[in-house]
Homo-oligomer: A and B are copies of this chain.
Amino acid sequence: MSGGPIASVTAIGWVRCARDPEEEDDWGDVPSTIELAPEFGPEALLGLEDFSHLQVLFLLHAVAAERVETGLRRPRNNPAWPEVGIFAQRVKRRPNRLASTICTLERVDGKTLHVRGLDAIDGTPVLDLKPVMAEFLPRGPVRQPTWSTELMREYWER
């Protein structure tokens, strides 16, 4: 088997967000909305408000195909951090350009979700929404390297 397309994806909604698309950090308090695509009715969201957190899968649509990396890269080009493989980091320029973020779900209003702390720029196509269940969080303690902790230090709150 090898790497041709195996499926196509559609936007099930779009992110609306007033945030500067060049900003890399300080996402925690950013308010956004997600508007469902025309083919879905509000019933697709029924029961979601019973969850405090939402996992959003989205397409990193602003990354040009030729900028995708497949091998080693130094996170944020910071010389203090090691070169790591593309699948050992969460950088945007990755194969398939898929992102996954857990944000706070504040309110559902018809086909519009109001969320906070979604690190997606305005116009981002949303591919899936999943409720966060505690049972889908890591089982057992999380261990991670120092560079990732340093990188994330101001990601949510500066």
Contact = CB atoms under 8 A, between A and B. Distances in A.
A90 B131 contact: yes
**Residue with the greatest number of chain B CB neighbours at <10 A, chosen from A45, A98, A117:** A98
Interface residues of A, number: 80
A90 B87 CA distance: 24
A64 interface: no
Contacts of A87: 12, 44-45, 48, 128-131
Interface in A73-114: 82-90, 94-98, 100-102, 104
CB-based closest 8 A-B pairs: A47-B84, A5-B8, A135-B152, A52-B143, A47-B88, A50-B145, A48-B88, A46-B85
Interface of A: 1-12, 14, 28, 37-41, 43-48, 50-53, 55, 57, 59, 61, 70-72, 82-90, 94-98, 100-102, 104, 117, 125, 127-145, 148-149, 152, 155-156
